[in-house]
Each structure stands twice: as structure tokens, then as C-alpha cells.
């Protein structure tokens, strides 16, 4: 990390990193304990591109303590078969507002637990911008995601 | 009537093969054959089978059928073996429609309200129709084949460039756009199947009944007119069929490459027949091709999916190449 700071000519790289890390941890601690039971599907873009456990979005979900329905061996951003989601039946769906069109009309999806209970986090373009770009705003992304989990994840 | 008998056999064979692939397709997905076996006792397996696998497999057949039919009509109408259904600007129009819908969605309440009603499929269909209308306006009608072809190419380039501008302005939609341009049958449900079935039936009926005119047209426009064929009216009808069939397929499944071009050639390589039969057989062939590609797309790296358009190009393309290689005769393309 110190070396990275040198390369990027950022003198206090470690301090920035600690701030981000603390921000993410704080967001994780703000969540109620039952959030760890939530099984979440994050769709990065239409066509079934999911955020896998290996992606930074998946790592963020892991830090917040929720479970990703996409198995780690599928890689960072797999394009999954829609029936995989139906089979996994997530409790909560996270999706950007650009991609949410027609989500409930997808064949077979109307019966999903998340859709029946309207447990869907629709992120505005500004929120998506923070969430889907890895960088120094990760603490902010964690807050956005935690806010959504606290609001929509309640059974 | 050797040709008639052979085409009958080919048609029956293609339908039988499609039925076999349909059965296979109902067993292929993220979980495999066991979900079919447990469908009676497991409601989720039943739902996956009934709501997802069956409609998407059938939908792939119908979309392929529409594209194959449109390809046969286009090749007959333009008397050009390289003609494909996307020739009249419908593909680029549909892509632009989807790009605009994706880029505008969520930006303003007014646009969002309209787009919710229209949906992505509606936007794609509207774009496809708009592309064809623009081509027809540029070509001043449908009577000059060459003008029509040129206008189609120009509209394709201009609308494609506009689409690129939209994606540059809103780079977030790039991945979704790529999904559309490579084609996907993943979200085809029963309602989409219904739309495509109606369109396929109507287009087949019109194209089949106009087959004789296409036969006459194959001899040249002057000959066709001297035979007393009502060329002007028929052209309008055929362009309408071409546009509607392509628009319906593209709206539901995205831009699936090569089916429309390859299906008529594949049929012709097996049986030499009249246009009336060719359009029907091309529809069956296109349907089988896309259906097989769809099953492969979800099987190869399950539970992930390959873009189905890539597979149609690989499958159809390699078969065509093999055909060309096998029967290389002087003076014949295939």
C-alpha cells in the first residue's frame, strides 16, 4: 500500500486506505444482525450480468455480511442464466435504475421472494456511479448499499 | 415432382429435428435434466420448465423462423444471395431504439413514464419500423431495387453512428447494448411467444402466397412484368413482410447474426425448389438453427450463458463454409 502510494505520489496513502476501511466497517456495523441471513442478487446490467463474489461489488457485499446468490467459482461478473436466479430465489435484488425496466415481467420472476415482497433496491444513476466503480469512494458505496439493505432487506 | 417430394421430406425432417431440440432444450439450463425429472414434485423446477425453458426454446424457434423467412424474402426480392433481413435499416433502427431507451430511462420523469409503457421490446420494434420507413422514404418507395438497397445501407450507417453517439454520451449502457447486439433469448416469455407466433403465421401466409411472384422475379424484372405479375403491389407487400418479421424477431431477441442469411442457403443446398416452398423451409431451417444455438448457449458454460448470436454465426457460418468447400463448381456460389 505504501509502495502504491509512492507510485501514485500520494503521501498519505495508508491514512486514506484506513479511512475507507473504517467507513466500510462502520457501514457494516450499522446493519441489524439479521441482515447476515439475507441472500442478495446484484445485477450489474441487463441481460443477466451479475456481480459475482470475486468482484469488488461481491467483496463489498461480503464485508456488509450479506450472502451473494452467485457462487464464487463463476468469476467476477458472470452472465448467468435467468433460471439460476429463479432457482436461488434471493431475498433482495440490487439493480441500477437504468436496468430495472421489465424486471418484474421477466418470465418466471414474478414469483421470486424479492419481487413479491418488493425487496428491490433501485439505485439512482448517481448511486450506481459510486457503487460500480472501484476507487476511493468505496466507503460511500458501502453506506449506499447498507442504507438499501436496512431499508429494503427487512422481512 | 422430385422437388416437391424432397421439400416435403425436408420440411418434415426439419420439424422433427425441432421437436427433438425442443425436448432437449427443456432439459438444459442452469440445473440440467434432473429438474425435468423432479418437475412433478418440485414447484420451482416446474416453474423453471414451464415459465422459462419452454417459452424461450419455442421463442428461439419462432425468432429464427421469422429471420429465416425474412432472409428468403430479402434474397428473392433483391435477387441477391448476400441479402439478409437486416438490409433495410431495421437492425440499426432497433439498436438505436434500445440505446435511446436505455440512455433516457430514469433521466427525466416524462421519458421514464413513456418508456415504462413502451418497454425495451417496444422501443426496439419502434426503432426497427422507423429504420425501414426512413429507408423507404430515402428510396422514394419500393420500386427501384438498387435504390432501396443503397438507401438501406445508408440508413444503416447513419443510424449506427447515431447509436454510437448515444452510447458515448451514456457509457453505462455499453454492456447492455452489447447484450442486445449479440442477441439473447433468455427473457423470452409466453407473451413474446404469442406475438412472434402471430407474426410468423401471418408472414408465412403472405410470403407463401406471393412465392410465384418471387419465382417470376428471379428471371429478371422485365420478364416478371411481361409475365403479367403485379410487381408493384407485391413489392410493397413483401417489404412489409420483411420489415414486420425482422422487427418482431429483433425486438424480442436482439440482433441475431447470420440466421437470415444462412437459412435460405442451407435449404437451397439440400433441395432446389420454388420460392413458395423456399420461404417456408427457410423459416423451419432458421428456427432449428436458432433453437439449437440457444440450447448450446445455455449448456456450454452453464449456469452462465454465451451470447446466442455468436453461436449462430459459428454454427451457420462453419456449415456454409464446409458446403462451399465441398461442392466447388465453376459458376455456382453454393
Q: Which residue has the cell 453505462?
A: B172
What is the tens place of the pLDDT at every residue in B283-334?
999 999 999 999 998 888 878 888 898 899 888 788 778 877 876 655 455 4
As a dihedral over the C-alpha atoms of residue B133, residue B134, residue B139, residue B140, rounded to 10 degrees, the angle is: 70
Nearest to A16 by CA among A30, A2, A27: A2
Measured CA to CA, the distance from residue B155 to residue B138 in angstroms comes to: 9
- Checking if the pLDDT of B212 tops 90, the result is no
Average pLDDT rounded to a whole number, residues A78-97: 89
Tell me whether residues A46 and B303 touch, CB distance under 8 A.
no
Q: Which residue has the cell 442478487?
A: A41
Nearest to A81 among B105, B179, B186 (CB): B186
Partner B contacted by A54 (CB < 8 A): no
As a dihedral over the C-alpha atoms of residue B155, residue B159, residue B160, residue B163, rounded to 10 degrees, the angle is: 180
Backbone angles phi, psi at B317, to 5 degrees: -65, -45
Average pLDDT rounded to a whole number, residues A57-75: 90
* DSSP single-letter state for residue B48: I
Tell me whether residues A86 and B184 touch, CB distance under 8 A.
no
Q: Name the pTM for this structure.
A: 0.89
Tell me whether residues A45 and B51 touch, CB distance under 8 A.
no
CA distances (Å), B106 to each of A48, A132, B32, B46, B109, in order? Answer: 19, 17, 37, 35, 7
Tell me whether residues B102 and A98 touch, CB distance under 8 A.
yes
pLDDT band at B117 (very low <50, low <70, confident <90, very high): confident
Partner B contacted by A67 (CB < 8 A): no
- Smallest CA–CA distance, residue A75 to chain B, in Å, is 10
Q: What pLDDT score was predicted for residue B129?
A: 92
Average model confidence (pLDDT) across chain B: 87
Instruction: Please give the biggest Cα pair distance in chain A.
Output: 53
Q: What pLDDT score was predicted for residue B291?
A: 93
CA distances (Å), B328 to each of B264, B267, B317, in order? Answer: 18, 17, 16
Measured CA to CA, the distance from residue B15 to residue A68 in angstroms comes to: 42
What is the tens place of the pLDDT at every residue in A109-150?
888 889 888 899 999 888 888 898 888 889 999 999 999 898
Measured CA to CA, the distance from residue A61 to residue A52 in angstroms comes to: 10
In the three-class reduction of DSSP (H, G, I as helix; E, B as strand; rest coil), residue A79 is classed as strand
Partner A contacted by B97 (CB < 8 A): no
- Residue A112: closest CA among chain B residues belongs to which residue? B44
Give the length of chain B.
334
Tell me whether residues B52 and A46 touch, CB distance under 8 A.
no
Q: What pLDDT score was predicted for residue B204?
A: 95
Question: Percentage of residues in chain B with pLDDT exceeding 70?
Answer: 94
Q: What pLDDT score was predicted for residue B1?
A: 54
In the three-class reduction of DSSP (H, G, I as helix; E, B as strand; rest coil), residue A67 is classed as strand
In the three-class reduction of DSSP (H, G, I as helix; E, B as strand; rest coil), residue B45 is classed as helix
Measured CA to CA, the distance from residue A79 to residue A109 in angstroms comes to: 17
The answer to whether the CB of B17 falls within 8 A of the CB of B290 is no
Measured CA to CA, the distance from residue A126 to residue A149 in angstroms comes to: 18
Average pLDDT rounded to a whole number, residues B194-211: 94
Amino acid at each position: 500500500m505504501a509502495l502504491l502510494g509512492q507510485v501514485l505520489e500520494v503521501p498519505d496513502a495508508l491514512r486514506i486506505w484506513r479511512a475507507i476501511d473504517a467507513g466500510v466497517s462502520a457501514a457494516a456495523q450499522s446493519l441489524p444482525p439479521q441482515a447476515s441471513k439475507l441472500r442478495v442478487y446484484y445485477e450489474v446490467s441487463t441481460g443477466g450480468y451479475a456481480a459475482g463474489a470475486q468482484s469488488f461489488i461481491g467483496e463489498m457485499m461480503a464485508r456488509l455480511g450479506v450472502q451473494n446468490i452467485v457462487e464464487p467459482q463463476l468469476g467476477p461478473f458472470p452472465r448467468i442464466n435467468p433460471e439460476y436466479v429463479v432457482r436461488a430465489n434471493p431475498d433482495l435484488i440490487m439493480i441500477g435504475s437504468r436496468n430495472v425496466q421489465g424486471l418484474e415481467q421477466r418470465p418466471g420472476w414474478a414469483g421470486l421472494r424479492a419481487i413479491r415482497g418488493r425487496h428491490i433496491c433501485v439505485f439512482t444513476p448517481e448511486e450506481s456511479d459510486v457503487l460500480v466503480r472501484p476507487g476511493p469512494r468505496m466507503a460511500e458505496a458501502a453506506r449506499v448499499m447498507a442504507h438499501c439493505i436496512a431499508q429494503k432487506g427487512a422481512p | 415432382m422430385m422437388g416437391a417430394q424432397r421439400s416435403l421430406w425436408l420440411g418434415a425432417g426439419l420439424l422433427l429435428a425441432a421437436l427433438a431440440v425442443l425436448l432437449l432444450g427443456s432439459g438444459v439450463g442452469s440445473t440440467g435434466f434432473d429438474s425435468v425429472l423432479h418437475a412433478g414434485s418440485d414447484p420451482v423446477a416446474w416453474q423453471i420448465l414451464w415459465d422459462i425453458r419452454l417459452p424461450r426454446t419455442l421463442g428461439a424457434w419462432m425468432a429464427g423462423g421469422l429471420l429465416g423467412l425474412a432472409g428468403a424474402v430479402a434474397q428473392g426480392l433483391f435477387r441477391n444471395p448476400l441479402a439478409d433481413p437486416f438490409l433495410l435499416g431495421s437492425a440499426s433502427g432497433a439498436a438505436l431504439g434500445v440505446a435511446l431507451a436505455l440512455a433516457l430511462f430514469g433521466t427525466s420523469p416524462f421519458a421514464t413514464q413513456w418508456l415504462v409503457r413502451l418497454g425495451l421490446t417496444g422501443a426496439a420494434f419502434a426503432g426497427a419500423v422507423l429504420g425501414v420507413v426512413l429507408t423507404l422514404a430515402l428510396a422514394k418507395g419500393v420500386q427501384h431495387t438498387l435504390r432501396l438497397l443503397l438507401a438501406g445501407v445508408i440508413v444503416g450507417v447513419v443510424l449506427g453512428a447515431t447509436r454510437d453517439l448515444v452510447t458515448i454520451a451514456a457509457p453505462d449502457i455499453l454492456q447492455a447494448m452489447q447484450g442486445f447486439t449479440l442477441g439473447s433469448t433468455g427473457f423470452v416469455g409466453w407473451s413474446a411467444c404469442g406475438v412472434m407466433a402471430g407474426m410468423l403465421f401471418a408472414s408465412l401466409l403472405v410470403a407463401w402466397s406471393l412465392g410465384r411472384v418471387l419465382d417470376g422475379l428471379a428471371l429478371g424484372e422485365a420478364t416478371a412484368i411481361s409475365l403479367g405479375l403485379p410487381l408493384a403491389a407485391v413489392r410493397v407487400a413483401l417489404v412489409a413482410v420483411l420489415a414486420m418479421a425482422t422487427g418482431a424477431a429483433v425486438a424480442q431477441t436482439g440482433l441475431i447474426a447470420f440466421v437470415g442469411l444462412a437459412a435460405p442457403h442451407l435449404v437451397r443446398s439440400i433441395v432446389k425448389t420454388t420460392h413458395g416452398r423456399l420461404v417456408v423451409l427457410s423459416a423451419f431451417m432458421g428456427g432449428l438453427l436458432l433453437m439449437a444455438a440457444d440450447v448450446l448457449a445455455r449448456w456450454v458454460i452453464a449456469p452462465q450463458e454465451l451470447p446466442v448470436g455468436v453461436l449462430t454465426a459459428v454454427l451457420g457460418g462453419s456449415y456454409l463454409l464446409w458446403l462451399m468447400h465441398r461442392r466447388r463448381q465453376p459458376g455456382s456460389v453454393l
